[in-house]
Amino acid sequence: MDFLPDDLQHYVETHTVGENELLKKINRETYSQVLMPRMLSGHVQGRFLSMVSKMLQPKNILEIGTYTGYSALCLAEGLQANGKLITMDINEELESRVRNYFEKSDFKHQIDYRIGDAQKIIPELKIMFDLVFIDADKESYSAYFDLVIDKIPSGGIILADNVLWSGKVVQPKPDKDTRAIIEFNDKVQDDTRLENLLLPLRDGIMMMRKR
Ligand code: SAH
Ligand code: CA
């Protein structure tokens, strides 16, 4: 699934600051060694996550859906010196690979990586998050939103990835995941607690700012 024509994508990539060596390595190894590598955020989206984080300078970040750790390391770039990022994934098969990547990063002491079901882990977290990235199973997006909304201060940002779902949100006969995304997008649009922007970057990122 390509989101832009190759030549335009190339132009965008060559006019976006590069990834560091560790991110390049994770990108490369995910494509050569891991199932479903297209789930990785990648160069341009990764720089977007980094940019948002650096603008916000969050104390705490929550990420739902670690996969190979690429987006977590991008988000961590904007953390305050004493800040932390909690990221979680249900897939224990990736655990040793991901711990190894985090161990190599500048943020190893700031990243709290947990294995388990996000719907069980999030209710146990008793801190506030200035930035949340929702990127796990699409069926649970609405549930994740409900679980995090009261853990975000006024001015806090939630980002939810893949909200265009390869364009399927506007196709007839949506499947189960597509229906879940459509319901999520509608729910966000109707929620007066936030200002939202559906940014058509890559597969679509819903940006939400709590009023
Ligand atoms: N954020 C990553 C990609 C995440 S892919 C990046 O941008 O590079 C989605 C991940 O969500 C997968 O690794 C999958 O194992 C995880 N996931 C699916 N269901 C989950 C659940 N219930 N709890 C936590 N993680 C889940
Ligand atoms: Ca994603």
176-190 and 141-148 helices cross at what angle (nearest 10)?
A: 30
Are 108 and 22 in contact by the 8 Å Cβ rule? The answer is no
Supply the pLDDT for residue 1.
Answer: 59
Considering every ligand atom shown, identify the ligand nearest to the alpha carbon of residue 203 and give its number. Answer: 2
Considering every ligand atom shown, identify the ligand nearest to the alpha carbon of residue 70 and give its number. Answer: 1
Residues whose CB is under 5 A from ligand 2 (ion)?
Answer: 135, 161-162
Supply the pLDDT for residue 2.
Answer: 76
Q: Give the domain ranges of the chain.
A: 6-210
pLDDT (tens digit, 9 = 90+) per residue, 147-165? Answer: 999 999 999 999 999 999 9
Supply the pLDDT for residue 189.
Answer: 98
Q: Residues near ligand 1 with C-beta < 6 Å?
A: 39-41, 65, 67, 70-71, 88-91, 117-118, 135-137, 140
- Which residues of the chain register pLDDT less than 50? none
Q: What is the position in ligand 1's atom list of the atom closest to the CA of 133?
A: 1
Supply the pLDDT for residue 3.
Answer: 85
> Is CATH 3.40.50.150 the right assignment for the domain spanning 6-210?
yes
Using alpha carbons, select from 153, 144, 150, 139 the residue that is nearest to residue 183. 139
95-103 and 21-33 helices cross at what angle (nearest 10)?
A: 170
- For the chain, give me the number of helices (H) and strands (E)? 8, 7
